[in-house]
Structure 1
Amino acid sequence: MSETIVRHRTGGFDDDGDPIPVSDPELELVPLGIAPGATADVEQLGRHGESVAFTVYLRHGSDVVDGDELEIRGKRYRARVNVWRSQRRANAGGLEVFATLGRG
């Protein structure tokens, strides 16, 4: 059985400080893979006070955007989304999502 993660989406807050409702607050996703930490290409996130706990690989078109939260192995992380394309195959690629903690 494949590991699943849960995407949590919040709508933010309006001008009065009230929460904005969203139509799809939670979505269960099956990642292509989950790797601990970050690749050398994204180590610069640490310079902005964020620590990358996991790198999650999802199919292209998965419904995850920057600012969503991902629940991975029982803990919630902020999502930073990067779209990648295969250098070897046309129309191949997906989403590389950095599950981050903290902000300085």
Structure 2
Amino acid sequence: GYAEGDAVLAELTELLRASVRPDDRVCRYGGEEYVLLMPDFDGIQASLFADRLRSKVAEHRFTVEGTSKSPSLTVSIGVASVGTDAPHPEALLELANDALRIAKRSGGNQVVHGGR
């Protein structure tokens, strides 16, 4: 139900926050989408990090309080980087969203870098 889904998303948020550097930002963007802002990462570093994060989420067993459920989940990740990929924040978010849609349409549980 909704309460279980919210609990899993809250645990996912904590997993994401524990996985990033102190100056990085994890922001919930929509119902089941997140934006990670990672200063000083180029596109290659961001893609490598995103793939490690994707694996970490897939291997994690989430908990649902009051039940014996231990669901797993996978994530699709769209990556975009400032500079050559997108000249301004709106374009950056659009590239990341486009890459995310491609990752989902291609079966999910993968990382796609936008603008490449």
User: What TM-score results when the alignment is normalised by the length of structure 2?
Assistant: 0.23
User: What TM-score results when the alignment is normalised by the length of structure 1?
Assistant: 0.25
**Normalized per residue, which structure has more helix?**
2
**Normalized per residue, which structure has more strand?**
1
